[in-house]
Amino acid sequence: MRLPMHSLGRHHLAWGLIAAGAVALVAYAEGHLSGYERTVLGFAGIYAMLAISLSFSNGLTGLFSLGHPAFMMVGGYVAAILTFPANRKGFMLPGLPDWLATVQWPLFPATLAGGLAAALVAAVVGFPVLRLRGHYLAVATLGLIVILRTVVNNANDVTRGALGLNGIPRHTDLWWILAWLAVALLVCWRLKHSSVGRSLLAIRENEMAAACMGVPRARAKLAAFALGAFFAGVGGALWAHLLTNLTPGSFGITLAFMLVVMVVVGGSGSLVGAALAAVAVTLLGEALRPLEQAAGAYGLVQILIALLLIATLLLRPQGFFGSAEPSFLRPRPRAGAADPGAPGPHSRAEEREMSP
């Protein structure tokens, strides 16, 4: 889908402003905010990226995967093992093959490797698992978390098992997060509004009809799943290098739940919605944490988030944006062009059917 290059649409301006604003924010944060504040912002950014990728893979295809944390684990561990200081790696992780024990990669290639490893796992696992539908798929992907966690837990020589990895170099800064967030948004956005994206949306609406029209369902679903997993792996890698430690329990069902909430509240299928919801929920959670600690009311934040989810599903099940994107970010549709994100053909009733 090519945009007429000679005219600068409203949406170009909007994107430009947003990009400039983000850069300014990161510059300011890196210069002026405390370590804690930068970490919080960092997590908001990582969550946003995760939510975008989940929204893309779940929302557009109607797949309901809870497996993101599992892929984060893959990405996180792979990247951490690659960047771990070589002088300690040998004796901390005795099971590693020599070539791994002696390398020490910088963040970018390690992150890339983490993402690719996650995508690979997703492709392999996806083959059988994606045949399931609806809540069966959800529970099966939940099972992935359990299975992977058990594997990591027991591969002591390679992962230090339950003790986890400490002292991972803190390579992640807000610039890296912003960069990857931008990449995720760009890739998912282009795909969503392309013919591929439209075919994915078609699958969501009616699998049988899509099959009749020759849309390669299985491949499309697998690709979407793997792409989501790639960004989850990247997210895991960034996470590991922000927090500087990793254990098998780092990525569990609570995380899966948080991501589901972000996608549902933001509007499944809406990338911007998911990102905004992710940032909002993360910042809100952090803001309330001191309250939680002061009152000794552990679990309060989770309770509120759970209530938010239930309320959203009750009162506005399509989420904030449904499967559309904010209109000022989209080019004005040319006459006759179908816009998959437009609120037009997807009535409230249909949106209801499609979410999440």
Q: How far is the CB of 42 from other proteins (least distance, A)?
A: 24
Phi and psi angles of residue 322, each rounded to the nearest 5 degrees, phi first: 65, -140
- Which span (70-78, 113-121, 133-141, 181-189) binds other proteins, by CB under 8 A? 133-141
Q: Looking at beta carbons only, is 180 or 225 nearer to other proteins?
A: 225
C-alpha dihedral, 319 to 324 to 329 to 330, nearest 10°: 180
- Which span (20-28, 75-83, 185-193, 303-311) binds other proteins, by CB under 8 A? 303-311
Enter the tokens of residue 73: 């684990």
Q: Tell whether residue 155 is a contact of other proteins (CB under 8 A).
A: no
One residue of 143, 169, 331, 343 binding other proteins per CB under 8 A: 143
C-alpha dihedral, 265 to 269 to 274 to 276, nearest 10°: -100
Q: How far is the CB of 315 from other proteins (least distance, A)?
A: 9
One residue of 18, 179, 306, 337 binding other proteins per CB under 8 A: 306
For residues 119 and 227, the answer to whether their CB atoms sit within 8 Å is yes
Whether omega before 356 lies within 30 degrees of 0, making that bond cis, reads: yes
Q: Tell whether residue 158 is a contact of other proteins (CB under 8 A).
A: no
Q: How many residues bind other proteins (CB under 8 A)?
A: 49
One residue of 173, 205, 286, 353 binding other proteins per CB under 8 A: 353
One residue of 33, 155, 243, 300 binding other proteins per CB under 8 A: 300
Q: Tell whether residue 244 is a contact of other proteins (CB under 8 A).
A: no
Residue 55: other Cβ atoms inside 10 A: 33
One residue of 12, 88, 133, 332 binding other proteins per CB under 8 A: 133
Q: Tell whether residue 136 is a contact of other proteins (CB under 8 A).
A: yes
Q: How far is the CB of 215 from other proteins (least distance, A)?
A: 17
Collapsed DSSP state (helix, strand, coil) of residue 131: coil
Site for other proteins in 195-214 (CB under 8 A): 207
Q: Tell whether residue 178 is a contact of other proteins (CB under 8 A).
A: no
Residues in the chain: 356
For residues 58 and 64, the answer to whether their CB atoms sit within 8 Å is yes
The closest alpha carbon to 228, from 303, 144, 104, 325, belongs to 144
d(CA 334, CA 6): 15
- Residue 250 to residues 48, 103, 293, 311, Cα–Cα distance (Å): 18, 25, 21, 28
Enter the tokens of residue 39: 């970490």
Look at phi and psi of residue 267 and say left if phi exceeds 0, alpha if psi is from -120 to 50, else beta: left
One residue of 165, 200, 226, 264 binding other proteins per CB under 8 A: 264
DSSP-assigned states of every residue in 276-289: HHHHHHHHHHHHHH
Phi and psi angles of residue 213, each rounded to the nearest 5 degrees, phi first: -90, 5
Collapsed DSSP state (helix, strand, coil) of residue 272: helix
- Which span (33-41, 87-95, 137-145, 231-239) binds other proteins, by CB under 8 A? 137-145
Q: Looking at beta carbons only, is 226 or 261 nearer to other proteins?
A: 261
Site for other proteins in 316-345 (CB under 8 A): 317
Q: Tell whether residue 352 is a contact of other proteins (CB under 8 A).
A: yes
One residue of 8, 18, 86, 147 binding other proteins per CB under 8 A: 147
C-alpha 249: how far from its chain's center? 18
One residue of 1, 8, 23, 139 binding other proteins per CB under 8 A: 139
By the criterion CB under 8 A, which residues form the site for other proteins? 64, 128-129, 131-136, 138-140, 142-144, 146-147, 149-151, 153-154, 207, 253-254, 257, 260-261, 264, 297-300, 302-303, 305-307, 309-310, 313-314, 317, 349, 352-356
